[in-house]
């Protein structure tokens, strides 16, 4: 027990050390992808990986890998997460998974007197805060970044992803070569802070992720007829705004009826021309749908689309659907999930399964090999906020469960 206390103390010290890079006086952290602070965090990590005896590699998009040094032909088990943050984020999101991965390698190496066949990774630009697209690093290595993305993706200052990579000393010209063939890792395990209250409120120190919701985003444009708000008779209007309002309620109703397998949100509404005495000619809605790979979510998007088209036709309004991004939900590997559940039981903690509504790199890794996640209870119940908080004893449980899971995966029965 004394030894595991030391390990937890070391992880906590490192999490605090990293929180100083881009840290604010109020305890929050800002390490937006490809900024100076993010680059510094990457260098910090490279140093820690080298101290742990890993062979480091920073790839063209900024992913940091620490590979086991012996050139075995077997693909390694990969552990990790990310070190970039949202503006004013907490110190655990991402960092917790990377630092605990390092600790697993160090403690296995101490125990066995050799660096284990386990790699550590920190994926670049996991947060969507800067470029409106999340998990850029894990998309790049799994072939889910398309060629135009480097120019198409811009931050709020108009800086393209290509320019940001360049200014961080990375190699945008090489990004298209990053795609790997599936099977380059034996299993991917990601530890992460719970981003909501579920584990805290149910009194479970950790939760094994059974599914990660897929995220799809759409732009809906309603075309009506602009007219004078006084002269246009109520029975003769083609009101784009009233049609859009009805659509929002259809979306809400369908999502509420989807057995908790879907959440759908209209977070953007633009009215053209947006004048109080003018009947709107056009309304644009930004719709986000998060869906699990379960029954209630099947055909949700097309169901909503049909109902909206039906209602708008009655109003003689046309509606145009543009897909901004379409994301499939991740089916978590049964092998990894069950291994984590067994490891929980062996560690004497409840083997609770949980759904992750936020996106994670594991969603993309799952297309290339067996991938899974374990979440740690969050005392602050919120994430992307300085109130993120993890109890030391829960950290200890995370370490123990991960260690056992890695051990089982290294020595299949
Ligand atoms: Zn995260």
Q: Which of 397, 367, 8 is nearest to 214 (CA)?
A: 367
Strand 371-376 vs strand 214-223: parallel, antiparallel, or unpaired?
unpaired
Residue 229 alpha carbon to ligand 1 centre in Å: 48
R_g of the chain, CA atoms, integer Å: 23
User: What is the full per-residue pLDDT of the chain (413 aa) written as tens digits?
Assistant: 457 777 899 999 999 999 999 999 999 999 999 999 999 999 999 999 999 999 999 999 999 999 998 767 789 999 999 999 999 999 999 999 999 999 999 998 988 888 889 999 999 999 988 998 899 999 999 999 988 999 999 999 999 999 999 999 999 999 999 999 999 999 999 999 999 999 999 999 999 999 999 999 899 999 999 999 999 999 999 999 999 999 999 999 999 999 889 999 999 899 999 999 999 999 999 999 999 988 888 889 999 999 999 999 999 999 999 988 888 888 789 999 999 999 999 999 999 999 999 989 999 999 999 999 999 999 998 888 999 999 999 999 999 999 999 999 988 66
What interhelical angle do 36-51 and 95-112 show, nearest 10? Answer: 10
pLDDT at 147 (0 to 100): 82
Residue 99 alpha carbon to ligand 1 centre in Å: 13
Residue 152 alpha carbon to ligand 1 centre in Å: 24
Could you tell me which residues are beta bridge partners of residue 79? 120, 189
Strand 371-376 vs strand 262-272: parallel, antiparallel, or unpaired?
unpaired
Residue 228 alpha carbon to ligand 1 centre in Å: 49
Q: Cα 60 to chain center, whole Å? A: 20
d(C-alpha 60, C-alpha 81), whole Å: 18
Residue 212 alpha carbon to ligand 1 centre in Å: 13
Residue 93 alpha carbon to ligand 1 centre in Å: 5
Residue 298 alpha carbon to ligand 1 centre in Å: 27
Q: Which of 136, 155, 133 is nearest to 144 (CA)?
A: 136
d(C-alpha 148, C-alpha 312), whole Å: 34
Residue 283 alpha carbon to ligand 1 centre in Å: 34
Residue 332 alpha carbon to ligand 1 centre in Å: 17
Residue 401 alpha carbon to ligand 1 centre in Å: 19
pLDDT at 197 (0 to 100): 93
Q: Which of 43, 33, 37 is nearest to 164 (CA)?
A: 33
Residue 201 alpha carbon to ligand 1 centre in Å: 20
SS (H, E, C) the chain: CHHHHHHHHHHHHHHHHHHCCCECCCCCECCCCCCHHHHHHHHHHHHHHHHCCCEEEECCCCCEEEECCCCCCCCCEEEEECCCCCCCECCCCCHHHHHHHHHHHHHHHHHHCCCCCEEEEECCCCCCCCCCCCCHHHHHHCCCCCCCHHHHCECCCCCEHHHHHHHCCCCHHHHHHCCCCCCCCCEEEEEEECCCCHHHHHCCCEEEEEEECEEEEEEEEEECCCEECCCCCHHHCCCHHHHHHHHHHHHHHHHHCCCCCEEEEEEEEEEECCCCCEECCEEEEEEEEEECCCHHHCCHHHHHHHHHHHHHHHCCCEEEEEEEECCCCEECCHHHHHHHHHHHHHCCCCCCEEEECCCCHHHHHCCCCCEEEEEECCCCCCCCCCCCCCCHHHHHHHHHHHHHHHHHHHCCC
pTM of the model: 0.87
Residue 158 alpha carbon to ligand 1 centre in Å: 25
Residue 195 alpha carbon to ligand 1 centre in Å: 8
pLDDT at 2 (0 to 100): 52
pLDDT at 412 (0 to 100): 67
Backbone dihedral region of 292: left (phi > 0), alpha (psi from -120 to 50 degrees) or beta? beta
Residue 280 alpha carbon to ligand 1 centre in Å: 40
Measured over the CA atoms of residue 93, residue 96, residue 99 and residue 100, the dihedral's sign is negative
């Amino acid at each position: 027990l004394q030894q595991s206390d030391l390990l937890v103390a070391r992880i906590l010290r490192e999490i605090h050390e990293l929180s100083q890079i881009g840290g604010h006086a109020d305890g929050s952290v800002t390490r937006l992808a490809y900024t100076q602070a993010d680059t510094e965090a990457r260098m910090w990590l490279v140093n820690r990986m080298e101290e742990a005896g890993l062979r480091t590699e920073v790839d063209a998009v900024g992913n940091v890998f620490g590979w086991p040094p012996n050139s075995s032909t077997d693909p390694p088990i990969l552990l990790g997460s990310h070190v970039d943050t949202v503006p004013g984020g907490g110190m655990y999101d991402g960092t917790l998974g990377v630092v605990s991965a390092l600790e697993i390698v160090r403690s296995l190496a101490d125990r066995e007197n050799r660096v284990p066949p386990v790699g550590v990774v920190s994926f670049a630009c996991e947060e969507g805060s800067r470029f409106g697209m999340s998990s850029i690093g894990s998309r790049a290595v799994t072939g889910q970044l398309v060629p135009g993305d480097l120019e198409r993706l811009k931050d709020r200052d108009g800086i393209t992803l290509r320019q940001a990579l360049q200014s961080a000393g990375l190699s945008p010209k090489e990004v298209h070569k990053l795609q790997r063939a599936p099977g380059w890792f034996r299993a991917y395990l990601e530890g992460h802070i719970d981003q909501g209250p579920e584990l805290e409120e149910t009194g479970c120190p950790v939760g094994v992720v059974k599914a990660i919701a897929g995220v799809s985003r759409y732009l809906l444009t309603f075309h009506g007829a602009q007219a004078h708000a006084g002269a246009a008779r109520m029975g003769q209007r083609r009101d784009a705004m009233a049609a859009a309002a009805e659509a929002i309620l259809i979306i809400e109703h369908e999502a509420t009826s989807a057995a908790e397998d879907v959440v759908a949100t209209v977070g953007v509404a633009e009215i053209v021309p947006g004048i109080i005495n003018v009947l709107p000619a056009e309304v644009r809605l930004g719709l986000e749908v998060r869906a699990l790979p379960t029954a209630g979510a099947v055909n949700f998007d097309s169901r909503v689309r049909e109902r909206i088209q039906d209602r708008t036709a009655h109003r003689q309004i046309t509606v145009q659907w543009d897909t901004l991004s379409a994301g499939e939900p991740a089916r978590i590997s049964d092998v990894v999930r069950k291994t984590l559940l067994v490891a929980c039981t062996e560690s004497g903690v409840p083997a609770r399964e949980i759904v992750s509504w936020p996106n994670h790199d594991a969603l993309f890794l799952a297309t290339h090999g067996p991938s899974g996640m374990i979440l740690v209870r969050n005392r602050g119940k919120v994430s992307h906020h300085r109130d993120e908080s993890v109890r030391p004893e829960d950290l200890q449980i995370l370490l123990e469960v991960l260690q056992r899971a890695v051990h089982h995966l290294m020595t299949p029965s």
